[in-house]
């Protein structure tokens, strides 16, 4: 991997970054060693950032590939003199998750979570026979296996309630002075609710 570090800053200046571990110690750029920040050693901490070359002020740099798997903090400084110095101005900061060879991206993390949980089996003790049995399997498309068949009349189960809610808003429905009627996909009446209007209060009764 390369160019894991991206920084936007004023064009045509010299900037560099240093790496800190979770305890705050600073990486010596030539290897995987960390030490408490020491002003006199600033010249051993700096990692190079290079402007892309288009004059747009976008700088890139390689993270230290020698470092082990961990979470690291990045500090970016603008170099004022001929070499890095303790008084250089901090211009940006951030963090990176590193797996020892490349940056750990959120998209990769989500894919890994899905790979570990997709088709996850749920095994419970069956009280009728005292045995552990597979009751359900979790899948990323598992809900698609639930029947979407329309109930006949007022819903009595949670599945039917969800389907009937969909029917109310997306199937044909009619409302007159006496009744609110919801129809099936095929066009027949599924539920009828009587309605009344006193001029100040409109009431829709249950199906």
**Could you count the other beta carbons within 10 Å of the beta carbon of residue 68?**
10
Residue 27: per-residue pLDDT: 98
Q: Are residues 120 and 80 part of one domain? A: no
Residue 207: per-residue pLDDT: 87
Residue 159 lies in a domain: yes
Cα→Cα distances 120→112, 115, 117, 124, Å:
13, 9, 5, 13
Q: Are residues 99 and 28 part of one domain? A: yes
Question: Per the structure, how many domains does the chain have?
Answer: 3
Residue 22 lies in a domain: yes
Which residues form the domain of 157?
148-204
Q: Are residues 71 and 20 part of one domain? A: yes
Residue 20 lies in a domain: yes
Cα→Cα distances 97→71, 104, 105, Å:
5, 5, 8
Residue 152 lies in a domain: yes
Q: Are residues 133 and 74 part of one domain? A: no
Residue 133: per-residue pLDDT: 67
Write down the pTM of the prediction: 0.55
Burial of 27 (C-beta count, 10 Å sphere; 0-12/13-18/19+): buried
- Find the CATH number of the domain harbouring 14: 2.60.40
Residue 189 lies in a domain: yes
Residue 146: per-residue pLDDT: 80
Q: Per residue of the chain (207 residues), what is the pLDDT tens digit?
A: 589 999 999 999 999 999 999 999 999 998 999 999 999 999 999 999 999 876 689 999 999 999 999 999 999 999 999 999 999 999 999 999 999 999 988 776 666 666 666 666 666 666 677 777 665 566 666 677 788 899 999 999 998 999 999 999 999 999 998 999 999 999 999 999 999 988 899 999 998
Q: Are residues 22 and 9 part of one domain? A: yes
Residue 135: per-residue pLDDT: 56
> Which two tokens mark 100?
């020892």
| Residue 117: DSSP 8-state | H
Q: Are residues 189 and 156 part of one domain? A: yes
């Amino acid at each position: 991997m390369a160019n894991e570090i991206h920084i936007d800053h004023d064009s045509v200046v010299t900037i560099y970054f240093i790496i800190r571990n979770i305890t705050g110690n600073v990486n010596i750029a030539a290897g995987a060693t960390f030490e408490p920040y020491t002003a006199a050693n600033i010249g051993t901490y700096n990692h190079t950032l290079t402007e892309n070359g288009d004059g747009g002020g976008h700088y890139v740099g390689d993270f230290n590939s020698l470092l082990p798997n961990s979470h690291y903090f990045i500090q970016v400084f603008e170099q004022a003199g001929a070499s890095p110095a303790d008084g250089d101005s901090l211009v940006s900061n951030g963090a990176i998750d590193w797996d020892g060879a490349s940056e750990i991206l959120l998209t990769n993390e989500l894919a890994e979570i899905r790979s570990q949980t997709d088709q996850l089996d749920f095994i419970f003790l069956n009280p009728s026979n005292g045995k552990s049995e597979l009751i359900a399997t979790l899948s990323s498309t598992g809900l698609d296996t639930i029947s979407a068949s329309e109930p006949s009349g007022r819903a009595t189960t949670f599945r039917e309630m969800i389907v009937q809610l969909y029917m109310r808003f997306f199937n044909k429905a009619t409302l007159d002075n006496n009744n609110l009627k919801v129809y099936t996909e095929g066009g027949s009446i599924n539920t009828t609710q009587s309605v009344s209007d006193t001029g100040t209060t409109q009431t829709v009764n249950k199906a």
